[in-house]
Structure 1
Amino acid sequence: MVPDITFGHHIRVVLDVGCGVASFGAYLMSRNVITMSIAPKDVHENQIQFALERGVPAMAAAFATRRLLYPSQAFDLIHCSRCRINWTRDDGILLLEVNRMLRAGGYFAWAAQPVYKHEEALEEQWEEMLNLTTRLCWNLVKKEGYIAIWQKPLDNSCYLSREAGTSPPLCDQDDDPDNVWYVDLKACISRLPEYGSGAIVAPWPARLQIPPDRLQSIQIDSYIARKELFTAESKYWNEIVDSYVRALHWKKFQLRNVLDMRASFGGFAAAIIENQLDAWVLNVVPISGPNTLPVIYDRGLIGVMHDWCEPFDTYPRTYDFLHAAGLFSIERKRCNMSTIMLEMDRILRPGGRVYIRDSLDVMDELEDIAKAMGWRPTLRDTSEGPHASYRILTCDKRHG
């Protein structure tokens, strides 16, 4: 429909809102697109549980009163097909949240009755949507059949040239669009960075290994230049995952739904792709550390912010593999390690595996907790040998 929408090239990361059982996301996977499928928790249908059991990335999440746990300029395309959301209510506050998460130059695809039906009430809804999207400076690039597709601008110039007093206003200069943990929705337009940061990423698959512009805006204590840090982390995880594949026979595992519990720049997930494992990774950025989520999305990966001292928003037994590197030595200052381990047990399917890479001083306690939960733990040396301060605890969760 739109020539610039080249799946698996310029369009790599997609958000599917009100996703049903994630058929759209499942279809796009074959086109080298990773889709985060979201729907509210539903007691009757459990759509997200079905999606995860199909092996498709999905989370229970809803457009409500708070920001979703994804960064600004995260998605190349946001898709809403019969998602039953009134985008124009409350001054368009929910569509403003879409706008925050949509990459500059990205697309919003809306498949709904007001697009193609001509009853009076629906025509009124369509006019309201046109009015709102025009004020958001979105360009209606295609309306065909039951689908309308808009494109977000590449910079702030259109916002700044609107008539004075046009609503919704631009957000204040000090509003951080990447601050999402328990942050209320705001009825304002998130500003795009003045220097274009985040808008321009290389096409897939090159963007996976190119240090993105937004790397420079991450607040981290770094003794070496960030680009070197990014490249070193990618190399480090490539070597480790390569050794896991060779020595621990990962190709024989039923690895599909993978959770990286402390993802940093997404190096582990990138290494899974480089090793051509048939798995996808949800990268979790803990709130206790720097917010690296923008970098993860700029690489063409998906992720979410989370506090591991709280439950994770997913159904029980939905992940095949949990990876925790350096997580417990940091989080144990904030909450009991057994709290996190019990939550890991809840979200791990029977027969699933856990790899914990952490300092020696937490390993005894973690091994005891793993045994108490009925896991089969094995303590292994890292590639640095038996005298290194780190160990790997590999655990199998027994069936039944």
Structure 2
Amino acid sequence: MAHCSRCLIPWGKNDGLYLTEIDRILRPGGYWILSGPPVNWKNHWKGWNRTREDLNEEQNGIERVAKSLCWKKLVQRNDLAIWQKPTNHMHCKLQRKIFKKPPFCQAQEADKAWYTKMEACLTPLPEVSDIKEIAGGSLANWPQRLTAVPPRIRSGSVQAVTAEIFEKDTELWKKRVSHYKALDSQLAEPGRYRNILDMNANLGGFAAALINYPLWVMNVVPAEAEVDTLGVIYERGLIGTYQNWCEAMSTYPRTYDFIHADSLFTLYKNRCDMEDILLEMDRILRPQGSVIIRDDVDVLVDVKSIVDGLQWDSRMTDHEGGPHVREKLLIATKQYWTTPAPNQDQEVSKTAS
């Protein structure tokens, strides 16, 4: 579901470009809800300081774009209007003869969204053989959806990821998180951590293993990752985004209680400085927040030297597989600290000069 409440976006303008983008990110059968102007304009137009004609045209523009996207309007009641995206495009292809815009996208890769311009074309859904079939495959209800093999993997559309690999990954992360809790007891303490960031989420196994705890995980798929797994993360019922960790993350300072980074520094080796990534982690981690970084031992030795310079309390420990595994874990906690007060004599000297 996508929801907009008084967001003042001109949904019907620019050939419906903004609603076309909403269509791209909604799953088959997903819902779009609009609350506020111009919905229910007949009862509110005076309070909105706009003319009836202007609001009527805005509403009609939205309705036209929604029809051109083959959406079905389910209800408009009071200040809410709800549309539904079709579960497949069998009927929509026939409607192209009536609504010429937007055309179906030809060369666009629908999953590409990092530094990608929006296009005024309708993202085609996977082919179906029956009008009642859900394009791309049906999703299990929650909470079974979390561990069921996602449709993208069942269909073979995720490079080098099979159902067997997915199931093994799910079990692997249950064991890893159990090991994490033994190393950081606060991870299992209800309420200690609430906002968690997984900087290299892969299939979302780390977040899935934490599902019974009162917390949420932002799963990041690096823009440089070999396999784009963000669609899998969402099909599991988790939340995620793309990010290039050589750049700042669009988030408030001190956002996260806990940060997890699996093989992140190996991924970004020779792409950008390790210091830059760690400084960004320091910016978005709250004081007394913790991190677990897993990577090759040689990489972690360099990471630890920088982390110590940030005045984090850190320690390295063995992989859950034992001391003979090259991959190790770095566990660290960000500390409260302030810049030392300047020497009083130096201040007097500065004032005199």
TM-score range, shorter chain: 0.7 to 0.9
Q: Residue in 2 aligned with 1:87?
A: 11
Say whether 1:97 aligns with 2:35. Answer: no
The CA distance in 2 between the partners of 1:247 and 1:374, in whole Å, is 20
State whether residues 170 and 191 of structure 1, in contact with CA within 8 Å, keep that contact through their aligned partners in structure 2.
no
Task: Give the counterpart letter for 2:261 in structure 1.
Answer: A
* 1:93 alignment partner, SS class: helix
1:150 paired to 2:88: no
Counterpart-to-counterpart distance in 1, 2:136 and 2:218: 20
- Quote the offset at 1:372 in angstroms: 0.6
- CA deviations over 1:267-313 (Å, ceiling 9, x no partner): 0000010xx21110000001221100000000000111111111111
1:352 and 1:268, CA in 2 relative to 1: closer, same or farther beyond 3 A? Answer: same
Q: Distance in 2 between matches of 1:86 and 1:344?
A: 36
- Whether 2:112 is the aligned partner of 1:179: answer yes
* Match status 1:161 vs 2:122: no
* Residue in 1 that maps onto 2:350: none
Alignment counterpart, residue 236 of structure 2, candidates 296, 299, 304: 299
Structure 1 equivalent of residue 40 of structure 2 = 116
Where structure 1 has 5 or more consecutive residues not aligned to the other structure, the ranges are 1-76
Within 2, Cα distance between the matches of 1:114 and 1:338?
A: 49
Report the 3-state secondary structure (helix = DSSP H, G, I; strand = E; otherwise coil) of the residue aligned with 1:103: coil
CA contact (8 A) 2:88 2:135 kept: no
Structure 1 equivalent of residue 198 of structure 2: 260
Structure 1: which 4+ aligned runs deviate by more than 6 Å?
A: none
Matches within 5 A, 1:7-26: none
2:159 aligned to which of 219, 233, 236? 219
SS at match of 1:105: coil
What's the Cα RMSD here?
1.5
Deviation at 1:244, TM superposition (A): 2.4
Runs of at least 5 residues in structure 2 that lack an aligned partner in the other structure: 43-51, 129-133, 338-353
How many percent identity over aligned positions?
A: 40
Distance 1:163 1:342, change over 3 A: closer
Shift, 1:338, TM fit? 1.1
Q: Distance in 2 between matches of 1:188 and 1:337?
A: 40
Q: Does 1:229 align with 2:153?
A: no
Please state whether the residue corresponding to 1:123 is helix, strand or coil. helix
Residue 61 of structure 2: which of 96, 120, 128 is its match?
Answer: 128
Q: Which residue of 2 aligns with 1:383?
A: 320
Residue 332 of structure 1 deviates from its aligned partner by 1.2
Residue 247 (structure 1) shift? 4.7
- Residue 314 of structure 1 is matched in structure 2 by 251
Partner letter of residue 299 of structure 2?
V
- Residue 198 of structure 1 deviates from its aligned partner by 3.9
**Are 1:356 and 1:394, in contact at CA under 8 Å, matched by a contact in 2?**
yes
Q: Is the 8 A contact 2:296 2:328 kept in 1?
A: yes
What is the Cα deviation at residue 251 of structure 1? 2.6
Confirm or deny: 8 A CA contact 2:68 2:102 kept in the other structure: no
* Aligned residue type for 1:279: L
Alignment of 1:332-351 (within 5 A): 332-351=269-288
- The 5 Å alignment of 1:242-281 reads 242-249=178-185, 250-252=187-189, 254-273=192-211, 276-281=212-217
Output the CA distance in 2 between the equivalents of 1:89 and 1:395.
49
Q: Which fold has the larger relative contact order, with Cα–Cα distance below 8 Å and residues 6 or more apart in sequence?
A: 1
2:38 and 2:272 mapped to 1: Cα distance?
A: 49
Shift of 1:200: 1.6
Instruction: Give the partner amino acid of 2:159.
Output: Q
Q: SS in structure 1 opposite 2:253?
A: coil
TM-score between both structures, scaled by the size of structure 2: 0.87
* Alpha-carbon offset, residue 194 of structure 1: 1.1
Amino acid of the residue matched to residue 263 of structure 1?
Answer: A
Task: Give the whole-Å Cα distance in 1 for the aligned partners of 2:223 and 2:136.
Answer: 21
Q: Which protein has the larger Cα radius of gyration, Structure 1 or Structure 2?
A: 2
Is the partner of 1:343 in helix, strand or coil? Answer: helix
Q: Kindly provide the CA deviation profile for residues 148-202 of structure 1, in whole angstroms up to 9, marking residues without a partner as x.
A: 0001011111221025373323333332110111110100111001145545211
CA–CA separation in structure 2 for the residues paired with 1:124 and 1:354? 52
Structure 1 residues 172, 127: CA separation in 2 closer, same or farther (over 3 Å shift)?
closer
SS at 1:217 equivalent: coil
TM-score by length of 1: 0.77
Partner of 1:24: none
Q: What is the CA-CA distance between 1:329 and the residue it aligns to? A: 1.3
Please state how far the C-alpha of 1:138 moved relative to its aligned partner: 0.6
Partner residue in 2 for 1:240: 176
Structure 2 CA distance, aligned partners of 1:342 and 1:255?
A: 21
Q: Residue 146 of structure 2: which of 202, 208, 211 is its match?
A: 208
Q: Please tell me whether the aligned partners of residues 170 and 188 of structure 1 are also in contact (alpha carbons under 8 angstroms).
A: yes
Given the superposition, is the C-alpha separation of residues 122 and 178 from structure 1 closer, same or farther in structure 2, using an over 3 Å criterion?
A: same
